[in-house]
Amino acid sequence: MFRRIHPLHHACFFSFLGLLAVACPQGGALEDPERFLEPVDPVDETCDAKPIFEARCAGSICHTAEGGSVVGGVDLLAPGVEQRLLGMPATYANVSNPEECPDQPELLIDPDDPAKSLLLTKIFNTHQCGSGMPTPNPPGLPENERACIENWVAKVIETGGDGGGLGGASGTGGAPSTGGSDGTGGSGDPPIVLDPLRIQAECAFGAAVGDCSGTTGSFLGDVMLEPGDTAVGYFSDGNWLSYSGIDLTGYDRLRIRYAKESTGGSIEVRLGSATGTLLGTFTPTGTASWSTYEDAEIEITPVDGVHDVYVLATGIMYVANLDWIEFFQQ
């Protein structure tokens, strides 16, 4: 749902939030463990890791985006994977042995010390906490595929994560804006069309609520879940909802499904905190009742990379009831 989903359904690759450092979730057992002993392609200095990601981590249980979240924490298949990994810290959200995790989170790709990149320590099974990936590890990946990923990490660092020379002819390795202002992957490449990224409002209450499908979040104030845990009500001035690890690369508009009996108040969308960078402001009009939901759209300031998104109510008591928000591309 977040991005295009590849139809491959082999087993998990890694699990990190920003790589969740745990084994595959229940149901993620390998269909064919020997599959991991088969090389994808011969490895050379210019090899691309993304075909390996596609073969090893596709499917709804691992590092693809589906249903509003990524089970493995990081989407390794959609365009822009370099920027989702380069310099981004792990959060170890679902680690079974958090006491063994470093106080200073590892970077998914560490530009200053590539060998310490969590992407690599997971596949070489030398990390401090969680399980090696892909499972079972050992045996993990064949040597040639590990070498390819090492080379690819070096290229990502060398190019600053812009996807240069990494994505093949399609140029899908970089962020959607890389190579031109029209959202193409590079000169002469077709535009990358992003699927809408929908976040259920109730997911601010945690992954076990409603249809959150693993999305993590938090909230502040007297906001409450509406019947069936499918919406958030009593969203008033000063209250906020937050959603973790959202990749906003390429999105420039926001759609909001809400209900409101009266007028007044606003909803702000910010990055990192309730006082962080403002992406956009929505001023809801009345929808006739608190149970009558409508959709509205606003422009937002485009921003690349993975962020924690905060939705803040301002102005009055009971600004709106929220069903979901959805980032999309104009």
CA within 13 Å, CB half, 104: 4
* Domain boundaries of the chain, sorted by first residue: 33-170, 197-328
94: left (phi over 0), alpha (psi -120 to 50) or beta: alpha
Specify the CATH superfamily of domain 197-328. Answer: Galactose-binding domain-like (2.60.120.260)
Q: Quick one: how far is CA 214 from the chain centroid?
A: 11
pLDDT tens for the chain, residues 1 to 330:
333 323 333 334 444 333 433 334 333 433 444 444 444 445 566 788 888 887 777 654 466 655 445 555 677 777 788 888 888 887 765 566 777 888 788 888 999 999 988 889 888 888 877 777 776 777 788 888 888 988 889 889 988 876 543 333 223 233 322 223 333 333 444 566 788 999 999 999 987 787 676 677 899 999 999 888 889 999 999 999 999 989 999 999 999 999 999 889 999 999 999 999 999 999 999 999 999 999 999 999 999 999 999 999 999 999 999 999 999 998
CA gap 149, 119 in Å, rounded: 9
